[in-house]
Amino acid sequence: MIEMTTSDIHPDDLRKKLFDPGAGAYCGFEGWIRNENEGHEVRRLEYEAYEPLARSEGEAILAEARERFPHLQAHCVHRTGMLEIGECAVWVGVSAPHRDEAFLACRYIIDQLKVRLPIWKKEYYADGHSGWVNCERCAKSA
Amino acid sequence: MIEMTTSDIHPDDLRKKLFDPGAGAYCGFEGWIRNENEGHEVRRLEYEAYEPLARSEGEAILAEARERFPHLQAHCVHRTGMLEIGECAVWVGVSAPHRDEAFLACRYIIDQLKVRLPIWKKEYYADGHSGWVNCERCAKSA
Amino acid sequence: MKTVTVRYFAMFREHAGVDEETLSIDVETAADVFRATRERHGSAEPSGHCKVAINDVMADWDSPVGDGDTVLLFPPVAGG
Amino acid sequence: MKTVTVRYFAMFREHAGVDEETLSIDVETAADVFRATRERHGSAEPSGHCKVAINDVMADWDSPVGDGDTVLLFPPVAGG
């Protein structure tokens, strides 16, 4: 399942949902807000999502992962709104019988989420400017 | 740093040690006790370690990971003693600027830990028998 | 002419200055809608890395747009 | 003859019936110690997947063993 939230993400509570007596491996990924992007000092990040399609596309990605890797349990949470340095913007957790599929499935899910979910982030820089990430051409045309 | 412990592992507290304002990605791996191995129903697992060498070999593996992936923060904990189904036997956590190196470093560390640390596990089966994992030939010669 | 509601997101919204607007335009496909709004708001953004949905379902640029449809214009995404 | 202390782990300990023992044996290398203990305890375990340490440092099977050394015999490992 995918959740969209404006609150803190708590990985420890979330990973418990993935417990399965047949699971020997758990892999978790978190995207944290970092203080730098492409040479710019970043102060905070604002996430905007179009939730109806973020949810349906997220569920589609999780279903694809479960199809590729049998016996997988997978869950993810994405935050929206304003986030500070060090906060968790996205969490992906998977449990599987063995570690190979746990790593591969977790990686598949986060890679797909990043390019397919209708989510945008705006960086607020130390110099007072701001900019939409991945949107250099948009910015030029503004 | 690598820790050896006979107590519960708490990933949420541990991952906080890896916080770094320059880290945009966190990858965590956990090995859980599963209820089956090679067709045998497993009830619990007993881990034995030779701690002096498990620590020094673990530190060597973490140092190798840091050398391969700059700006990496990495930490791991391995349990010893008797563990029940679903308990966490080993935790590896890494934070890094980007997700590619976070996944690769985490995978490198767990793969190396599994084959290099002087740690052994004995499975206790539902049928009352027990056996050392990875030690079929030893068992035959006993 | 068709009545089409266009919704803008992120950079596109800031650029258009509105969340959504309803237009009477002569269009066949999602690409036509994109071009019309680009001209309307003076943008030169190519559609290459952008995405489009029609009535809350992901679509292609050559998907047909009907009278009364809502077209969602997504600038390049950057989740996580 | 050298005085060598041998420590056994996991399956090797169960098999030998002791944690460690001190032997007076005619050995040059870690492999010689492994063979001597194998004969002593009637095992046919090959050294291929096993590991050895001398005085708490990982060693090779052809590493030399000196008088008073402690040799640690590790069956195949299975951490995690």
Model pLDDT for residues B73-103, shown as the tens digit of each residue? 999 999 999 999 999 999 999 999 999 999 9
Mean of the per-residue pLDDT values of chain A? 93
Tell me the shortest Cα–Cα distance from B124 to chain A, in angstroms.
15
Q: Across-strand partners of D29? A: D64
pLDDT tens-place string over residues D48-80: 889 999 999 999 999 999 999 999 999 999 888
Q: Which CATH number fits domain C2-74: 3.30.70.920, 3.90.105.10, 3.10.20.30, 3.40.50.300?
A: 3.10.20.30
pTM for the whole thing?
Answer: 0.92
Q: In this predicted structure, what is the pLDDT of residue C29? A: 97
pLDDT surpasses 70 at C72: yes
Total CB pairs under 8 A between chain A and C: 85
pLDDT surpasses 60 at B142: no
Q: Across-strand partners of D24? A: D3
pLDDT surpasses 60 at A15: yes
Read off the pLDDT band of C80 (50, 70, 90): confident
pLDDT tens-place string over residues A56-70: 999 999 999 999 999
pLDDT tens-place string over residues C19-69: 999 999 999 999 999 999 988 887 767 778 899 999 999 999 999 999 999
Considering CB atoms only, which of A24, A34, A88 is closest to B21?
Answer: A34
Read off the pLDDT band of A138 (50, 70, 90): low
Tell me the shortest Cα–Cα distance from C42 to chain A, in angstroms.
8
Tell me the shortest Cα–Cα distance from A51 to chain C, in angstroms.
10
Residues 6+ apart with CB under 8 A from B41: B35, B125, B126, B127
The mean pLDDT of B43-61, rounded to a whole number, is: 96
Q: In this predicted structure, what is the pLDDT of residue C32? A: 96
The mean pLDDT of A20-27, rounded to a whole number, is: 96
Length of chain C counted residue by residue = 80
Q: In this predicted structure, what is the pLDDT of residue A137? A: 52
Considering CB atoms only, which of B113, B118, B142 is closest to D15?
Answer: B142
pLDDT tens-place string over residues A35-94: 999 889 999 999 999 999 999 999 999 999 999 999 999 999 999 999 999 999 999 999
Question: What is the rounded CA–CA span in Å between residue A12 and residue A70?
Answer: 24
Tell me the shortest Cα–Cα distance from A35 to chain B, in angstroms.
6
Taking a C-beta distance cutoff of 8 angstroms, is the pair B78, B2 a contact? yes
Inter-chain touch D10–B132, beta carbons under 8 Å: yes
Q: In this predicted structure, what is the pLDDT of residue D47? A: 79
Read off the pLDDT band of B139 (50, 70, 90): very low
Contacts of D15 in chain B (CB under 8 A): 138, 141-142
How would you list the strands of the sheet with C57-59, edge to edge? C20-25, C2-8, C70-74, C51-54, C57-59
Measured CA to CA in angstroms, residue B16 lies from A18, A31, A76, B10, B12 at distances of 21, 14, 20, 11, 7
Question: What is the rounded CA–CA span in Å between residue B131 and residue B118?
Answer: 17
Render the burial of B53-80: b for 16+ CB within 10 Å, e for the rest: bbbbbbeebbeebeeebeebbbbbbbbb
pLDDT surpasses 70 at B136: no
Contacts of A118 in chain C (CB under 8 A): 9, 51, 53, 72, 74, 77
Domain ranges within chain C, ordered by starting residue: 2-74
Type of residue found at D31: A
Read off the pLDDT band of B51 (50, 70, 90): very high
Share of chain B above pLDDT 70, in %: 94
Interface probe with B: pick from A32, A40, A90, A91, most Cβ of B within 10 Å: A32
Q: In this predicted structure, what is the pLDDT of residue A47? A: 97
Contacts of B52 in chain D (CB under 8 A): 56
Does the domain at residues A2-141 carry the CATH identifier 3.40.50.261? no
pLDDT surpasses 50 at A139: no
Q: In this predicted structure, what is the pLDDT of residue D46? A: 75
pLDDT surpasses 80 at A28: yes
The better pLDDT of the pair A134, B137 is held by: A134
Type of residue found at D69: D
Q: In this predicted structure, what is the pLDDT of residue A43? A: 95
Taking a C-beta distance cutoff of 8 angstroms, is the pair D3, D33 a contact? no
Inter-chain touch A24–B34, beta carbons under 8 Å: yes
Chains touching chain D at 3 or more Cβ pairs under 8 angstroms?
B
C-alpha closest to that of A114 among A47, A66, A52 = A47
Residues 6+ apart with CB under 8 A from A121: A45, A46, A47, A48, A89, A132, A133, C78, C79
The mean pLDDT of B32-58, rounded to a whole number, is: 95
Restricting to B residues 100-129, those with a Cβ less than 8 Å away from any Cβ of D are: 110, 113-122
Contacts of C79 in chain A (CB under 8 A): 49, 54, 78, 90, 113-115, 117, 119, 121
Chain C residue with the nearest C-alpha to that of A89? C80
Taking a C-beta distance cutoff of 8 angstroms, is the pair D63, D54 a contact? yes
pLDDT surpasses 80 at B14: yes
Predicted-assembly ipTM surpassing the 0.85 threshold: yes
Q: In this predicted structure, what is the pLDDT of residue B138? A: 52
Mean of the per-residue pLDDT values of chain B? 93
User: H helices within A1-142, ranges in order?
Assistant: 11-16, 51-68, 99-116, 136-141
Share of chain A above pLDDT 90, in %: 89
